[in-house]
Amino acid sequence: MLLKIIKCIISMIMLVMAVGSAIAEEEVATAKQVVDKFQVDLIDVMKNGKKLGYQGRYDRLAKSVADSHDLTKIARIVVGQEWEKLTEEQQLKFIDVFTRLSIASYAHNFKEYAGESFVFDTETETKRGGVVVHSHLNIPDDKPVKFEYQLKDKGKSWRIINIIANGVSDLAVKRSEYTSILQREGFDALVAIINEKIENYSKQ
């Protein structure tokens, strides 16, 4: 009898713990879950690419990108020290055009599906409390492309701040380009080039 009661209590405790941990998991999406969700969305948009059209893909991805990337932080990092030299109005304008460019480039580059699939490899922690999700994109009849997502904790959830494709860091390349243009040609020229790129993406 006593044994039965003990067994019952233990199973109750285990049940409570299981429910508790499930709730905790629901509250904060892990870095891996954020990347997974984004990749699932991307593949889905690719599969429906033709049907959706450019604007359809853009609208669908706008939410996915916003939910998974910290675009404000990325925008700040890519202009480096030049950020401090911009007026508040310019900073807001830059975040806006940068966000639209990021979504537009996804909408343009992920428009067709030919059996590609993302595969999760590993997850590592960085010294500064970030997480790197290592994954790769399998492409039929081609070499797989390695994708490393660097994420930072943003309040309640993780956000992508950099993507390294086959060893080439998107953030580092963009940062060099943006600071170079700001120094050589100034803010208005940079915004004009970005707007031109967005327009080109929407046309093709």
Partner 1 sequence: MNRQNEGNHQIKATVLFYAILVGLFVNLSGCATTGDNKPEVEVNKLDPYEGFNRRVFGFNDSVDSYVAKPISDAYLYVTPKFVQTGVANFFTNLKNINVVLNDFLQAKFSQGAADTGRFAVNSTFGLVGLFDIAKELGLEQHEEDFDQTLAVWGVPPGSYLVLPFLGPSTTRGVPGAVFDTATNPTSYIGAPVQLISLLNTRANAEGSLKFINEAALDPYVFTREAFFQWRKNLAVDGKPEASIDSDLDNLLGDDDVSVRPEKVKSGVEMNNNHDTSNTDPTLKSKDEFGQVSESFGNVTESFKTTVKSFEKANNKLDSIKVK
Residues that bind partner 1 (CB under 8 A): 73, 76-77, 80-81, 83-84, 105, 108-109, 124, 126-128, 130, 132, 134, 146, 148, 150, 152, 161-162, 164, 166-169, 171-173, 175-181, 183-184, 190, 193-194, 197, 200-201, 204
User: What's the Rg (C-alpha) of the chain?
Assistant: 21
| Distance of closest approach, residue 28 Cβ to partner 1, in angstroms | 21
| Nearest CB to partner 1, comparing residues 29 and 86 | 86
| Distance of closest approach, residue 5 Cβ to partner 1, in angstroms | 52
| Nearest CB to partner 1, comparing residues 28 and 168 | 168
CA nearest 204: which of 109, 114, 101, 102?
109
| Distance of closest approach, residue 38 Cβ to partner 1, in angstroms | 18
Contact 81, 51 (CB under 8 A): no
| Distance of closest approach, residue 200 Cβ to partner 1, in angstroms | 7
| Nearest CB to partner 1, comparing residues 100 and 108 | 108
| Distance of closest approach, residue 127 Cβ to partner 1, in angstroms | 6
| Nearest CB to partner 1, comparing residues 49 and 80 | 80
Looking at the DSSP bridge assignments, the partners of residue 154 are 157
- Scanning 28-169, the segments in alpha helix (DSSP H) are 31-47, 49-68, 71-79, 88-109
| Nearest CB to partner 1, comparing residues 68 and 150 | 150
Q: Which token pair is 189?
A: 């020229």
CA nearest 118: which of 45, 69, 168?
45
Looking at the DSSP bridge assignments, the partners of residue 145 are 137
104 vs 198: CA distance, rounded Å: 6
